[in-house]
């Protein structure tokens, strides 16, 4: 049953529930143990008990949030060292693909077996993936290890939010979001600075500096495991469900080829044989996923009953668009700051602090008012408008735009994100039954990550497919200018071997009409840092113009999402008691085959 007033599920002690309609057990995997559920106890948790649980959750969320910010700032250095700047999207996209696919699986499994064991599993996989990433010797290898790391990351955010949904009523939940925001804000401040510092070191203890960007997760992860094991104690109510393994497989078959072609389409050609094969496999996979989910009914990986609720349906569509704008913008801004503005990784991290400040301000402000009034829809509407405005402002930046203007745009964009991220999750959790809290929360995270994965792949594809042409055009316009020619004839400039070699290559490229020089910048852009700024101007102009196009595309997508926001119905956030905490216990009957 769905809706706010659905009756709680019941089972007879010691007896197996009749399986619901769906594919045979052999087609959907082995059925789980039959559970004897713990008696329902709606005694509210004390503030102290909630804070005790929050400690473990915040450790896990800190791990995931730190990784997002620390890698985004260091990725240019990593890609240059591994000679694959144009392939950097693979490292990001692979991580997002796996974390997206496993997110609903974590939600469903934790609904059945309990949250704690899967939260610990997610942290463990994430830490192991971090260690593997530090050994990468190519961008393809790094992408593979990041994909493994993403399997752990998919459970960190969604399970932490689901646990909060279990123990705190929606209306009171906004009060405790402040603690999560403090963790997110701290990691957002530390991540860029630490990531920039590590990436800026040639070696630390004999290991390349950027490899410590991943190794730094290890001590944090070990600490998180210790804290979660000690503090996170929840009563688990086991349910007799089959696990929708075939749904997970079909979803993977559907998403992976489509995301690969989004990344590789510019090289293959969007109508090439490889691209068409990916289209066909992806569509077939999504069709199979739809059929499997319909057959599985309430036991589906993403139960269709959730999306029959208008609030969840509209919020999911908006979350996809939000994810595209969020990840697309966050992936492109560090590139602008480091390539066009010439900022070091550390400085680029500090320059992104206004974005973090905006997110924290918007989230805290909206959270406090939502807690008092129970109304969330107004913030989603205002947030959508701010995101459109922020992306349109980003689309006007040039190579010489003052930094104070860029930082002001970051604040607007960040406040818009803060106004939307928390209220959308609250709306979904409020509309779903308590028994479906895990899968509902993971569906909100899943849709946002789907958008983020698509946004990263598509926007970076647009960027790197247009940069060579933009740089070539800028060369034709800027090289004949008096400023460029004065630099090209300055003995002091020519004394720098990097400048002299660049001018020789430029003359050869102009004679042959080749775009090889602009294309080489996509493999390793570090040479730009050694050029006289007047000589490097064509690269700055070309990159900034391509980024303008990316942000303009993002604004168009976000405008559609903003229009959909106005279809979101308002439902008063529920109050009421939270679930009582106790030692995590489960009584099982013999395995049912």
The 10s digit of each residue's pLDDT in 157-209 is 778 877 877 777 766 666 666 566 667 666 766 776 777 778 777 778 878 87
Whether residue 38 is found in the same domain as residue 167: yes
Least confident of 4-8, 345-349, 508-512, 536-540: 4-8
Better-predicted residue by pLDDT, 310 or 345: 310
Query: Given pLDDT bands bounded at 50, 70 and 90, which one contains residue 28?
Result: very low
Indicate whether 99 belongs to any domain: yes
Mean pLDDT, residues 215-240: 76
Query: What's the pLDDT at 35?
Result: 37
Whether residue 293 is found in the same domain as residue 185: no
Angle (nearest 5°) at CA 115 between 109 and 117: 90
Indicate whether 233 belongs to any domain: yes
Domain ranges, residue 496: 469-546
Least confident of 7-21, 58-72, 175-189, 489-503: 7-21
User: Global pTM?
Assistant: 0.69
Whether residue 229 is found in the same domain as residue 356: yes
Least confident of 95-99, 145-149, 571-575: 571-575
**Does residue 83 have a pLDDT over 50?**
yes
Mean pLDDT, residues 518-535: 68
Identify the CA nearest to 336 among candidates 191, 200, 475, 539: 539
The count of domains in the chain is: 3
Instruction: Dig out the tokens for 469 from the structure.
Output: 């042409």
Query: What's the pLDDT at 126?
Result: 92
What single DSSP character describes residue 566? T
Identify the three-state secondary structure at position 18. Answer: coil
- DSSP assignment of 428-472 equals HHHHS-GGGHHHHHHHHHHHHHHHHHHHHHHHHHHHHHHHHHHHH
Identify the three-state secondary structure at position 514. Answer: coil
Q: Which of 300, 320, 346 is the last residue of a domain?
A: 300
**Does residue 412 have a pLDDT over 80?**
yes
Greatest extent of the chain over all pairs of C-alpha atoms, in Å:
90
Indicate whether 4 belongs to any domain: no
Whether residue 430 is found in the same domain as residue 285: no
Better-predicted residue by pLDDT, 32 or 254: 254
Whether residue 503 is found in the same domain as residue 383: no
Indicate whether 149 belongs to any domain: yes
**Does residue 568 have a pLDDT over 70?**
yes
Identify the three-state secondary structure at position 567. Answer: coil
Distance CA 281, CA 273 (A): 12
Indicate whether 201 belongs to any domain: yes
**Does residue 573 have a pLDDT over 80?**
no
Whether residue 137 is found in the same domain as residue 202: yes
Whether residue 268 is found in the same domain as residue 159: no
Residue 323 maps to which CATH number?
1.20.1250.20
**Does residue 18 have a pLDDT over 60?**
no
| Dihedral, CA of residue 276, residue 279, residue 284 and residue 286, to nearest 10 | 180
HSE-CB for 37 with a 13 A CA cutoff: 17
Q: Which of 277, 300, 323 is the last residue of a domain?
A: 300
Query: What's the pLDDT at 283?
Result: 92
Query: Given pLDDT bands bounded at 50, 70 and 90, which one contains residue 574?
Result: low
Distance CA 470, CA 466 (A): 6
Better-predicted residue by pLDDT, 170 or 415: 415
Whether residue 132 is found in the same domain as residue 235: yes
Indicate whether 11 belongs to any domain: no
Instruction: Dig out the tokens for 54 from the structure.
Output: 């929050």
**Does residue 556 have a pLDDT over 80?**
yes
Indicate the average pLDDT of the chain. 75
Please provide residue 169's backbone torsions phi and psi, each rounded to the nearest 5 degrees. -60, 150
Whether residue 267 is found in the same domain as residue 240: no
Whether residue 223 is found in the same domain as residue 249: no
Whether residue 309 is found in the same domain as residue 221: yes
Whether residue 84 is found in the same domain as residue 115: yes
Indicate whether 18 belongs to any domain: no
**Does residue 264 have a pLDDT over 90?**
no
Distance CA 223, CA 119 (A): 14
Indicate whether 193 belongs to any domain: yes
Instruction: Dig out the tokens for 6 from the structure.
Output: 């659905």
Mean pLDDT, residues 341-365: 78
């Amino acid at each position: 049953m769905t809706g706010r007033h659905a009756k709680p599920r019941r089972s007879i002690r010691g007896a197996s529930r009749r399986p619901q309609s769906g594919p045979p057990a052999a087609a959907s995997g082995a059925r789980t143990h039959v559970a004897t559920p713990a008696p329902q106890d709606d005694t509210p948790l004390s503030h102290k008990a909630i804070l005790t649980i929050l400690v473990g959750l915040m450790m896990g969320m800190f791990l995931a949030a730190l990784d997002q910010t620390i890698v985004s700032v260091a990725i240019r250095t990593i890609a240059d060292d591994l000679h694959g700047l144009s392939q950097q999207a693979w490292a990001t996209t692979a991580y997002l693909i796996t974390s997206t696919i496993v997110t609903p699986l974590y939600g469903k499994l934790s609904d059945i077996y309990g949250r704690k064991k899967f939260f610990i599993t997610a942290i463990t996989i994430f830490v192991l993936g971090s260690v593997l990433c530090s050994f990468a010797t190519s961008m393809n290898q790094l992408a593979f290890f990041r994909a493994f790391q993403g399997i752990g990351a998919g459970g960190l955010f969604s399970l932490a939010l689901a646990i909060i949904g279990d123990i705190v009523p929606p209306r009171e939940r906004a009060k405790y979001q402040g603690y999560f925001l403090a963790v997110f804000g701290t990691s957002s401040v530390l991540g860029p600075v630490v990531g920039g510092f590590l990436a800026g070191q040639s070696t630390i203890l004999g290991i390349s500096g950027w490899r410590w960007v991943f190794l730094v997760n290890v001590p944090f992860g070990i600490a998180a495991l210790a804290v979660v094991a000690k503090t996170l104690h929840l009563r688990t109510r086991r349910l007799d469900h089959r696990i929708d393994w075939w749904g997970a497989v079909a979803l993977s078959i559907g998403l992976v080829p489509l995301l690969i072609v989004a990344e590789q389409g510019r090289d293959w050609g969007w109508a090439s044989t490889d691209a068409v094969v990916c289209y066909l496999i992806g569509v077939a996979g999504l069709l199979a996923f739809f059929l499997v989910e319909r057959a599985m009914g309430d036991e589906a990986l993403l139960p269709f009953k959730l999306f029959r609720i208008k609030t969840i349906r509209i919020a999911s569509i908006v979350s996809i668009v939000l994810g595209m704008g969020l990840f697309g913008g966050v992936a492109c801004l560090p590139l602008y700051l480091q390539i066009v503005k010439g900022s070091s990784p550390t400085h680029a991290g500090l320059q992104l602090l206004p974005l973090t400040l905006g997110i924290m301000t918007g989230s805290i402000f909206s959270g406090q008012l939502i807690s008092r009034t129970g109304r969330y829809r107004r913030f989603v509407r205002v947030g959508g408008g701010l995101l459109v405005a922020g992306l349109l402002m980003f689309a006007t930046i040039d190579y010489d735009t003052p930094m104070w203007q860029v930082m002001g745009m970051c604040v607007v964009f960040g406040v818009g994100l803060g106004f939307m991220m928390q209220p959308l999750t609250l709306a979904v959790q409020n509309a779903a039954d308590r028994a479906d809290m895990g899968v509902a929360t993971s569906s909100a995270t899943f849709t946002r990550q789907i958008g983020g994965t698509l946004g990263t792949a598509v926007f970076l594809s647009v960027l790197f497919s247009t940069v060579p042409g933009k740089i070539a055009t800028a060369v034709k316009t800027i090289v004949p200018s008096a400023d460029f020619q004065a630099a090209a004839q300055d003995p002091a400039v020519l004394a720098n071997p990097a400048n002299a070699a660049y001018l020789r290559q430029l003359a050869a490229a102009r004679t042959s009409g080749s775009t090889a020089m602009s294309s080489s910048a996509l493999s390793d852009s570090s040479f730009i840092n050694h050029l006289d700024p007047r000589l490097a101007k064509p690269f700055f102009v070309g990159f900034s113009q391509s980024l303008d196009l990316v942000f303009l595309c993002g604004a168009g997508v976000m405008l559609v999402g903003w229009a959909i926001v106005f279809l979101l119905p308002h439902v008063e956030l529920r109050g009421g008691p939270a679930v009582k905490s106790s030692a995590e216990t489960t009584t099982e009957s013999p395995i049912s085959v």
